Amino acid sequence: MPVALYALVVWAIPRPEALKPESWRLVGIFLATIAGLILQPIPGGALVLLAVTLASILGGLTIQDALAGYGDPTVWLVMAAFFISRALIKTGMARRLALFFVRLFGKTSLGVCYALSLSDMTLASIIPSNAARSGGVILPILRSIAEVYGSRPGATAALLGSFLMTAVYQSICVTAAMFFTGQASNPLAAQIATNTFHFPVTWTSWFVAGIVPGLVSLALVPLVVFCLNPPEIKRTPEAAAFAAKELAAMGPMSGGEKLVAAVFVTVCGLWVTSGLHKIDITVTALLGSSALLFSGVLSWEDVKSEKAAWDIFIWYGGLLRLGKALGDAGATTEFAKAVGSVLAGANPVLLFAAALLIYFYAHYGFASITAHILAMYPAFLAVLVAKGAPIGLVVFAFACFTNLSAGLTNYGTTPSPMFFAHEYVSLKKWWLVGFVTSLVNLAVWSTVGFAWWKLIGIW
């Protein structure tokens, strides 16, 4: 079916005049790859590696260009986060942290989810990287909490881990939409709005705009996921006592735990203050991993055996490069222009609603929020503003909805493959939860959000 889809795109659908033949073949390769990731005829990593190879033969890329995604700093940030996560689990430090959380919030599975989601929300106000805080900070704690209850990938995933992976991931997409620093490309959207459309967006204005609809979504999303992917363990009234007993049994922190904790705090501190010292967060994460290797807390065998990280390296790096190549070729821009021309004569309200939905669900074709914003945000804003849509409503709706749309797939933003690769959740269930949750978020932000923005004078 992926091969048939490629043939349909390349030979049956008329090629836009602005695109070269090789760019159109690249579109076919990308769409066939996405179809393959859904249908899984072969493992995702193998499929993406094949797509990258074909892109250098059919898609107009040199082999150096096709492989460039594997040198992307974001890909290595994911890798480093996995290595630090492994050290946290190996030394028992993550388990100690998890037990502390369980002691405080572990009376229900929903309580654990809300605790982790609110923790991510707090971090999102100061850490401009959803990968750094969600993948590097929240995920290791989540995994450890699941394992405390005996929930591991496979037969016991449904006990707790499957629910937590899906519910917390959907929540972090909401927190990314709530703040100027919710994720790395939010400032880019703000810059486009300010410089191109002369609508200033600041940290404060984004915070005021996002806080009300964001809190409503954060309250509802775990409940929705709880219905779609319910954990077998729902109430754990003995959890606090169990956690306290286990913490006592662990005794004082070992030397390895202290070192991992020091690296953990240092890396997080450097992430938080990256705006001051200008050290790239990927460099910080790699330095943390190197320190753990140098100290011996993390062995090279540990790194080699981290199969999930290396699987991500292959398929996420490849998808990231293919998506960027589509943008460089002008394919996604042509798509946005085509949508604008088709809807140009529509009623302004209908045009706004249709454009927002198309823009939102176009994220099925993106492995990066940044790529989505760069390719489509300016074009869609230009079409709607020209039609007389309120500039403030358009700016914030499309900026926030880009983040919310990352919940649709297992590759929608940097943390998504990190969560999915732990193999607690099937692809079918991940996408089902993502689609239903998207309807809830759209409903909340287009009612509560739009009304709140009207009240505070954004439009």
Distance CA(134)–CA(120), nearest Å, equals 7
pLDDT given at position 339: 67
Structure letter (DSSP) for residue 106: T
pLDDT given at position 125: 76
pLDDT given at position 209: 95
**Closest C-alpha among 311, 306, 328 to residue 410:** 311
**Closest C-alpha among 26, 37, 46 to residue 1:** 37
Count CB neighbours of 306 within 10 A: 19
Helical pair 281-295 and 255-272, crossing angle rounded to 10 deg: 170
Distance CA(294)–CA(37), nearest Å, equals 37
Contact 325, 55 (CB under 8 A): yes
pLDDT given at position 336: 67
pLDDT given at position 81: 77
Q: H helices of 40-108, where?
A: 44-57, 63-66, 73-91, 93-105
Mean pLDDT, consecutive 10-residue stretches, the chain (459 aa), reads 91 89 92 80 88 93 92 82 80 76 80 87 74 80 84 91 95 93 82 84 87 96 96 77 80 90 85 77 89 93 86 83 82 72 74 91 86 80 83 95 95 90 93 97 96 95
pLDDT given at position 127: 65
Beta strands in 135-278 (DSSP E): none
Count CB neighbours of 329 within 10 A: 21
Distance CA(302)–CA(438), nearest Å, equals 37
pLDDT given at position 22: 92
Placement of tokens 């604008």 in the chain: 340
Sign of torsion, CA 307 182 397 332? negative
Single-letter amino acid code for the residue at 79: M
